[in-house]
Amino acid sequence: MSFSAFQLQLQGCIRQALSLIGCTLTMDYFVYDGALGNNAGLQMVKQLGLHLVSKLRHDSTLYFPFAGEYAGKGKPRKYGEQLTIDTLPEDSLRGRTVKKDVETSMHQVQVWHKNFPDLLNVVVIVKRNLKTGRVAKALLFSDDLELPYDKLIEVSN
């Protein structure tokens, strides 16, 4: 995997910071804005032994893992139904609030992105204006599949 000049410089800075911290603290996560919301950014952070918490583009195409039966020939299917606001399962809902005519719901799912080799832990934040019906979404992600939604949101802020 080749990294951009920015990613190489950032990786060097992270490596220096980790060496300065030394044994005093242990770090498990590196949190960064959407500039690292891609596979190269994830791989760069993983090389340092850290999990990445970042943001994907709101229009990223994500897929649920294929849940059907194996056809019996060839490679098993990897990608299932595409994730949209309408295909979010009810059991993915982690929280919902309403403030000043804006309903915010938070969903947590494990999904595939065709540019990443492994499943991603994604928190989908959906904001719906109850007066106008307009909808916006944000996609926070981590490669740590065990990270709970509230911690993923907390470290992203």
pLDDT reported for residue 60: 94
pLDDT reported for residue 3: 75
Compute the C-alpha angle 51/39/64, nearest 5°.
Answer: 85
Residue 100, CA distances (Å) to 16, 85, 97, 128 in order: 45, 22, 10, 11
Count of C-beta atoms within a 10 Å radius of residue 107: 22
pLDDT reported for residue 68: 85
pLDDT reported for residue 98: 96
CB 103, CB 85: distance < 8 Å: no
Say how far apart CA 6 and CA 15 lie, in whole Å.
14
pLDDT by 10s per residue, the chain, length 157:
677 888 888 788 888 887 777 767 777 888 888 877 889 889 988 988 999 999 999 999 999 999 888 878 888 889 999 999 999 999 999 999 999 999 999 999 999 999 999 999 999 999 999 999 999 999 999 999 999 999 988 877 6
Match 């999904």 to its residue by tokens: 111
Domain count, the chain: 1
Domain boundaries, position 127: 5-156
pLDDT reported for residue 23: 65
Match 């993923």 to its residue by tokens: 152
- In this prediction the pTM is 0.87
